[in-house]
Amino acid sequence: MKDSSGTAKKLLDVPYAPEAEAFLDELERSGQFRIGLEAEIDEGESDTASNDYTWGRGAGNVSISDWWTTGRVALRVAAGLTSADLVFARVNDALVVRTHDNLDRVTFEGYLGLIPDASTLRILFADGTELAGSELMSRISSWFAPVSSEPSRD
């Protein structure tokens, strides 16, 4: 860079504070923040990004709210769980995937409010099976157990 007198100036390379540098490194490592030439290359290469999440037994209750930052979403279910072991429900605008015993659950916050046909979500199981599209939609039930149609005994 040259100033108005035509002499070259050296650009200052001011470092971040160590804690800020560590925070930026963690954001970049997790894929939430990209800087420099790599970020420009990544943006130019993919028009539709994806988020892959891994979930399974022992995960507890997980809430995902940043799914909307990408073009598609994949939930990779760890070994030990099959499609038959899972319940799919709509709670307000969220999509909830949970085990039958309700010990482990993943919630995609606001997902069905923005993507009502769940067209951007694929659920991938360790055995190689996949659940997506209309098959996934057909499995979504209500969160609460249906009311019994038996007459009351008063």
pLDDT tens column, 11-59: 556 666 777 677 666 666 655 555 555 554 444 444 445 578 888 888 8
pLDDT at position 114, please?
85
77 forms bridges with which residues in the sheet?
Answer: 55, 125
Q: What is the pLDDT of residues 59-110, one digit of tens each?
A: 888 888 877 766 788 999 999 999 999 999 998 888 999 999 989 999 998 8
Token couple for 106: 């993943």
Distance CA 7, CA 12 (A): 16
Please, are residues 80 and 99 in contact by the beta-carbon 8 Å criterion? no
> Comparing C-alpha atoms, which of 21, 46, 42 is closest to residue 31?
42
Distance CA 123, CA 52 (A): 10
The region, left, alpha or beta by phi > 0 then psi within -120 to 50, assigned to residue 102 is left
Distance CA 124, CA 80 (A): 13
